[in-house]
């Protein structure tokens, strides 16, 4: 697995685990926070800016689609964060409220809490169990091996 995939697997995995555990620890707080986001647009816009920045960073650095399942999950997570951030910034508040209502967050709260837990557990497991490549692998090739070999001169 590439070093960047290992790093993002660890980072996204830990963040998702913390989010999922926080959702399970205090359901009432999360529900109240979601209600407040629909009332006040300012925190929602800040959240959108943060999501766009994080999603764009992941997508620009890690846009790997073909090297296995874990790199694909990291790439799709980056794209999902980016798209959700753009939606928050450009979709009108009444449409966003109807999307949240249609998703039945309160009815299926524990399903929504399980998603970051499962994703975080998978990415953390894969990221922390992978062998981290040494810095020599990521370094540029040495100049002596990169130069073509000179042909011996004839007398």
Annotate 51-85 with b (16+ C-beta within 10 A) or e (fewer).
bbebbeebbeebebeeeeebbebbbebbeebbeeb
Q: In the structure encoding, which two tokens stand for residue 4, read together?
A: 């960047």
pLDDT bucket at 37, cuts 50 / 70 / 90: confident
Could you tell me which of 94, 90, 74, 105 has the C-alpha nearest to residue 5? Answer: 74
pLDDT of residue 18: 96
Cα separation, 141 vs 28, in Å, equals 55
pLDDT bucket at 155, cuts 50 / 70 / 90: low
Average pLDDT over every residue of 85-102: 84
Q: Does pLDDT of 88 surpass 80?
A: yes
Percent of the chain with pLDDT over 90: 49
| 135: Cβ contacts below 8 Å, ≥ 6 apart | none
pLDDT of residue 24: 93
């Amino acid at each position: 697995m590439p070093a960047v995939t290992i790093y993002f697997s660890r980072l996204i995995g830990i963040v998702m685990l913390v989010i999922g555990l926080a959702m399970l620890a205090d359901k009432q707080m999360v529900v109240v926070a979601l209600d407040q986001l629909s009332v006040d647009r300012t925190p929602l816009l800040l959240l959108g800016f943060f999501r766009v920045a994080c999603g764009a960073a992941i997508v620009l650095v890690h846009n790997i689609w073909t090297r296995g399942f874990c790199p694909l999950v990291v790439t799709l997570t980056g794209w999902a964060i980016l798209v959700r951030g753009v939606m928050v910034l450009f979709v009108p508040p009444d449409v966003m409220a109807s999307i949240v209502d249609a998703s039945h967050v309160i009815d299926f709260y524990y399903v929504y809490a399980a998603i970051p837990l499962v994703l975080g557990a998978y990415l953390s497991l894969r990221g922390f169990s992978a062998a981290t490549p040494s810095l020599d692998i990521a370094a540029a090739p040495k100049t002596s091996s990169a130069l073509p070999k000179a042909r011996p001169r004839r007398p």
